[in-house]
Chain A
């Protein structure tokens, strides 16, 4: 409301006074309090370094942000800067013309600091649309104390048969083997996607996504079948279909589930979502290699995760871009995010001081990866990605067969073309 009054006041006063000052509106989805404090602090620092620039932060909670994204960008009041996971969603936004190309503003220095992977992830048709912020990976978090309690040896779970046997042991011990936020659906999509990365590999995925091949091809169905079979042995917590990501994260953080397949960002979220805001101690936390399956065309080093950053809406000012260049490439600032283990910054040198062993391991995984597959729901764009999520949730619940799920996905892909 204050903004309407302000807007009205500006309109009355005329634009002369508005020219000197620029307000940059910045929409973020950060809810962990300490990380938020860093982010707000950075905005204030930039303001003090650049008189005349006001940074106004806006916040949308993760699910609300995704739900609003489609309508958000069509508003004349759209934020200048907003978070993005890139992928097909970005492609569609760029094609719709709601984004501002920024290659004319971004300096070579920034491009060098971000690196080629970061630049190409946010380029479409020869234009640069965004500034990359971080890389992330979906990993299988596990609770060592619960493994010990159930008498499960983590090493025994390295292949699928061992994994299934371990799950049975947890169930026998009365421990929930896997926490999952089924209601939000995208947490379920990690399971299918991880399997696709392993069984189909980069080439087959790209072909299916572009229409040269089909999602009903054998590796995709086989990958779906693994998730379906997993669901059949009921490894998830009771009521998982009504649980959100935060519910599942909190459950794992409280030490009430042995495993959680989730992005590395969950390291801070699992603590923040736990009942005591601390979660269980780090020495009991581990990253389990995703179980291997026989066959498969994917490179074993391939990872699934994100390369996220910031996009600029159509009417964004140069100031907005300059602010983001500073924000993402200021090494000292990004190091703070790395040290707090909120995310792994992409800017050159920013992750060097990172000491968190989990984050270091993830950074190493991504470095070694031949293919760092982007979250499929983002990579495939809003329509097809949405169906991928829907189908993953249904596979986990056992309400659709692997063949039918693949067919639905293929139908959506054809429809979107």
Chain B
């Protein structure tokens, strides 16, 4: 350790650092930090991307975003999707992981199948489900025929469109959460479970009081990914509904795309970006606080 400390400030080491870190830093600054700063800057201007940035409008863009007819819907949908993926996806993933973390050849086949949709491009997943839900040629009307009812056109229905999207999200991402839990479960030392079993503890109690508590860090990660994933949901929405019917299925990012990017309203888009950024960072900070608070207690 002493050897290391003596080298603190060693010009040769610093040169090495400069060589090793500079490429990453340059890319990061140009393509991550600088645009982020610009989003903040642009959000106070009215600008269509051409000519000089000169029309300062204060917080008008923020007001425009918040007052936009589609914004409450986009925010609501994002929150609903986040909650639904926490309440449906994660318990399901955990339940399945508890069965599939065990080692056997047939178990790994199911793992692979369940993980399959996660690997698929979002656009492909969106189009596949657009077909499944298609009211004329899809799978749904056939199911309706079999049940002798008319199935609603899910993607054209203001109520059903969100549950339909949630189902696609579960289909696409449930396997990802399952894998996280499986990794967590596999890292629990077998002795702990064996010991509990030898003490005559029931399977359910082992699950509740041994396995799940020991999965804490996996659950933390999976909850984080579920929330952040919902906040940035876009690629599935575009092929599936394009935000419709009306604005009923917009998410925050699809809202940004349709009303900021497509109309080249850079200030408006900037304001939306800042709002999204604050939400992402806010969620992370609050989440960490909650975790540490619980860890302290």
Contact = CB atoms under 8 A, between A and B. Distances in A.
A, B in one complex: yes
A249 to B, nearest CB: 14
A34 B158 CA distance: 39
Contacts of A240: 156
B135 A408 contact: no
A394 B136 CA distance: 23
B246 A393 contact: yes
B264 interface: yes
B264 A242 contact: no
Contact of B246 (A96, A399, A408): A399
A92 B241 CA distance: 29
A239 interface: yes
B51 A397 contact: no
A243 B153 CA distance: 10
Contact of A182 (B64, B245, B262, B265): B245
Nearest to B46: A415
Contacts of B264: 70-71, 382
A67 B265 CA distance: 13
Nearest to A382: B263
B263 A96 contact: no
B69 A242 contact: no
B106 interface: no
Contacts of A243: 156
A96 B244 contact: no
Contacts of B69: 400, 408
Interface in B231-289: 241-242, 244-247, 261-265
Interface in A76-96: 92, 95-96
Contacts of B244: 182-183, 241-242, 393
A246 to B, nearest CB: 13
Contacts of A97: 50-51
A156 interface: no
Interface in B37-84: 48-51, 64, 69
A390 B262 CA distance: 13
B94 interface: no
Interface string B151-187: 0010111100000000000000000000000000000
Contacts, number: 61
Interface residues of A, number: 28
A219 to B, nearest CB: 23
A383 interface: yes
A397 B153 contact: no
A300 to B, nearest CB: 33
Nearest to B153: A239
A241 B246 contact: yes
A182 B247 CA distance: 12
B81 to A, nearest CB: 19
B155 A242 contact: yes
Contact of A242 (B51, B64, B241): B241
Nearest to B133: A242
A285 interface: no
Given A70-B262, A96-B51, A382-B264, A239 B64 contact: no
B50 A241 contact: no
A38 interface: no
Interface in A218-246: 238-243
B245 A241 contact: yes
A67 B262 contact: yes
Interface in A359-417: 382-383, 386, 390, 393-394, 397, 399-400, 408, 415
A182 B156 CA distance: 9
A106 interface: no
B156 A241 contact: yes
11 contacts: A70-B49, A70-B262, A239-B135, A241-B246, A242-B241, A242-B245, A382-B263, A386-B262, A393-B246, A399-B246, A400-B69
Interface of A: 67, 70-71, 74, 92, 95-98, 182-183, 238-243, 382-383, 386, 390, 393-394, 397, 399-400, 408, 415
Interface of B: 48-51, 64, 69, 135-136, 153, 155-158, 241-242, 244-247, 261-265
Given A70-B262, A183-B242, A242-B241, 6 more contacts: A95-B50, A97-B50, A98-B50, A238-B153, A383-B265, A415-B64
Instruction: For the complex of A and B, list the 5 residue pairs with the smallest distance between their C-beta atoms, beginning with the closest.
Output: A239-B153, A241-B245, A242-B156, A239-B156, A96-B50
